[in-house]
Structure 1
Amino acid sequence: MKIKPPRQAQEWSSSSHRESIGRALSYPGIRSNKMTHINCGSSARMTGNVCANVDRIRRQGQLVRSMAGFPTCVRFFYLACAALYPSTSLCKKLFPPIDERYDRLAAQELSPSDPIQPTVAENAFVQVIMMFRKTFIQDSVLMMELHP
């Protein structure tokens, strides 16, 4: 039995790379017209494969952030609606059963006859809904100007 040597990595053009990913997605029947960001994750890996300078990649990211109007410091963002903090009492008026379920989950006071048994997914879902109602209130304040 002959063992073949590993193939050498070859540099692909962006278009051929995008086309190959598109063909791979179309084979199982996944259809998408949004091919703009299909190379984002793989392009970052490819730059690492060809030993690109990390500082050069960071400078490129800073340039893109500054052109978009954001400060160049890493992980900075500003959303006007995030500056508004709704009160706890207002949040509790939106989706009140979630608070009851959260309290029962936190206290582990679930009866065996309860058809809904606690799971990790349920706990995460309750937390997402609790965050969603805060976001919903924050966004609704800004949307009131557009839709009174």
Structure 2
Amino acid sequence: MHDVLDVRQKQRAVIEFLVCENEAMGNIHKRLQKVYGEETVDRSKVCRWAQRTSGKGGHANICDLPRSGRPQSARTDANVETANNMIKADRRITVKQLSLRLDISDASVCRILEQSGFSKVRARWVPRQLTDERQSENHEGDHKIKVDSVATPTLQS
């Protein structure tokens, strides 16, 4: 699948070109839909970008401008690697324990786990690629009871 920002920038460039060609907004949107399918920006956004382009002599910055706000600091490569190592060491670790040890929010831990492909199965973190056959083997192993010796009562006279 394409990177969302990359697809949007390409569409902005196409819109800029077609506006310079004096193409109608409806036709621009239809042409984008033919090429990009479901990833096409909506018609109102096409009109907005076209207005920006036509107002600046046919040229506009097609890249996103920097935004204000706090950058993501919780989902760093170091936190992802640390979380993965902690899960591999103890598959029964909880989200709360991970968030306390990594000093990030529970929601950030959940996003890291989802991004890493883990899901919770019977109080254990397991990779999502686990097949149904392997899952059933894991469940069967949990239910086996080991009995070393069975004491049989005997009657003494």
TM bucket (normalised to shorter chain) is: under 0.3
TM-score calculated relative to the size of structure 2: 0.23
TM-score calculated relative to the size of structure 1: 0.24
Instruction: Compare the two structures and name the one with the higher strand fraction.
Output: 2
